A and B are shown apart, each in its own frame.
Chain A
């Protein structure tokens, strides 16, 4: 019983981190049909920004994080407007090549500017403590991650289905020319969506920093995990990504508890089975 509770709690926390990072990629991949393999780099940049602000500039965590996320969004918007938008019409393979090149470049830049060491984000005392749940303790930071994941999921779902922006986005993706004739500002929608994806990546990088240490190779190291969540959840499906991330997080955690000498086997086995069963995503048919 204790084991089950442990698996669920640790699995949920790990899954939420995966979700927050992956949801931005699901947006760009699914809603914008742009293969952005530099997504991990945005997560890394968000994390590094928060680390720098809290450690060097000694800002409060609660101020540094929104600023870091906003900075990542701004960087995303600039990259999109200047460079990436020329790639929307290109083939997927070319998008892959370019964004991998961009990731390499950003890794090298991070290494050159900040060195190869792990960057720590200074947590406020509230988050640095451990919460005693009775049968075990849990770092408070994990609770924040779980809460944040749920908030992000709700906010993203609401934005896409209930706001005008969400309608514009869906229209712009499905029928760009018709949407343009209707007066929907396509370029603005594309740029804003990409920036939002980058912002979510940055947030994931910050919140996940306890589990996925911030170092220059971060940009590519965790990309596979994120792609897995997007694939299993279904491109563009936010509830799908949430379900996929939590399920896979629990599977991975369970394998660490029960069969850790098999490495990542069960994670990828579960992923293959889920994908084979629902190729278009968990919640799509």
Chain B
């Protein structure tokens, strides 16, 4: 699973988002009965994309990313409950909350690296989860934050039972997030961060303010994660404590590694494949779907699809 970061990227930033919109629209049209699943996939993809900025681009493995998602979700939910049901402002509020938490926690966390950083992200996320549970009057505690209804999107498209509006909304935000991520990662700032991933010492020697660059990337990731959380709050009309859970962080990391970290589209692939796999396996056998996922993960590591593909091509005699 090597990154091709050594080669200069020439693909324009709008290509991948257009592919996302195309595939998303086809899925929206072809599967009108499963738009809830489609929405969920889009939100998860955005979340895992934000994780890729931290893990794949900046090289910081984190198991606390759910804190940023949850912050966005609760912020958007509270905004809808107390202020206004307007979705786009709520989305901005969620993204802002995620960014704010990332900025605040990152200032502390980013001084550490490796395993220490990983465990500290766990601590921050668990502390956030404990606080959310304690602040029952604000967050609803275990019962979740509910009772808010979303207004129509852009003043015209109401959130319907089948989830038509929600699915297109989520896909659009995902495409936008991907565009922003792509632009940032391909910019000189993005290159600097990737340089820091490869060698902190070298970048520091070049005069790069390492901590500031990492903090900026972490904050951006927080904004995208917060946006994903806001989407979740708005399309589900409820926010549960599971939005801050360790399980969510761990699952996102698994999806990212599955799809391949560091290339942005790997995040989307991992999210789609894992969610579909889980959904399919669970509906076949709700008790034993974990067998399938466990086996799939092990197989993917032992026989990376890349190698299998190459082997297949060499056997078939075609040039690589």
Q: Which residues of A contact B (CB under 8 A)?
A: 29, 83, 86-87, 90-94, 96-98, 100-109, 111-112, 224, 227-228, 231-232, 235, 261-265, 268-269, 271-272, 275-276, 279-280
Determine the chain A residues whose CB is within 8 A of the CB of B118 once the complex forms.
231
Q: Which residues of B contact A (CB under 8 A)?
A: 1, 55, 61, 108, 112, 115-116, 118-120, 122-124, 126-127, 130-131, 133-134, 246, 250, 253-254, 257-258, 261, 287-291, 293-298, 300-302
Partner of A90, one of B112, B119, B300, B301: B301
Closest B residue to A102 by beta carbon equals B298
Q: How far is the CA of A2 from the CA of B116 in the complex (A)?
A: 36
Partner of A93, one of B261, B291, B298, B302: B261
B294 touches A101 (CB 8 A): yes
A280 touches B116 (CB 8 A): yes
CB distance from B66 to the nearest CB of A (A): 13
Determine the chain A residues whose CB is within 8 A of the CB of B61 once the complex forms.
92-93
A261 touches B119 (CB 8 A): no
CB distance from A195 to the nearest CB of B (A): 20
Partner of A263, one of B123, B133, B297: B133
A-B contact pairs, 16 of them (CB 8 A): A93-B257, A94-B1, A96-B253, A98-B302, A102-B298, A105-B298, A108-B288, A109-B291, A112-B291, A224-B126, A231-B115, A231-B118, A232-B119, A263-B134, A265-B134, A271-B119
Knowing A97-B254, A231-B119, say if A264 contacts B288 (CB, 8 Å).
Answer: no
For the complex with contacts A97-B300, A101-B300, A104-B294, 20 further pairs of A-B residues with Cβ separation under 8 Å are A92-B61, A93-B61, A94-B301, A97-B297, A100-B297, A101-B295, A104-B297, A106-B294, A107-B294, A108-B288, A109-B291, A111-B287, A224-B122, A224-B246, A231-B118, A264-B126, A265-B134, A272-B123, A275-B116, A275-B123
Determine the chain B residues whose CB is within 8 A of the CB of A105 once the complex forms.
290-291, 294-295, 298
Determine the chain A residues whose CB is within 8 A of the CB of B124 once the complex forms.
272
Q: How far is the CA of A202 from the CA of B247 in the complex (A)?
A: 24
B122 touches A96 (CB 8 A): no
Quick one: which of B108, B119, B253, B291 has the most chain A CB within 10 A? Answer: B119
CB distance from B56 to the nearest CB of A (A): 9
CB distance from A126 to the nearest CB of B (A): 38
Q: How far is the CA of A100 from the CA of B291 in the complex (A)?
A: 12
Determine the chain B residues whose CB is within 8 A of the CB of A276 once the complex forms.
108, 112, 120
CB distance from A240 to the nearest CB of B (A): 13
Partner of B257, one of A94, A107, A272, A279: A94
Partner of A101, one of B131, B246, B288, B297: B297
Q: How far is the CA of A244 from the CA of B246 in the complex (A)?
A: 21
Q: How far is the CA of A207 from the CA of B250 in the complex (A)?
A: 28
Partner of A102, one of B119, B261, B294: B294
Determine the chain B residues whose CB is within 8 A of the CB of A272 once the complex forms.
120, 123-124, 127
7 A-B pairs with the lowest CB-CB distances in the bound complex, closest first: A101-B297, A105-B294, A104-B294, A231-B119, A265-B130, A108-B290, A272-B123
Knowing A94-B1, A98-B298, say if A262 contacts B291 (CB, 8 Å).
Answer: no
Q: How far is the CA of A97 from the CA of B302 in the complex (A)?
A: 10
Partner of A228, one of B119, B130, B133, B291: B119
A97 touches B119 (CB 8 A): no
A262 touches B294 (CB 8 A): no
CB distance from B309 to the nearest CB of A (A): 17
Closest B residue to A116 by beta carbon equals B287
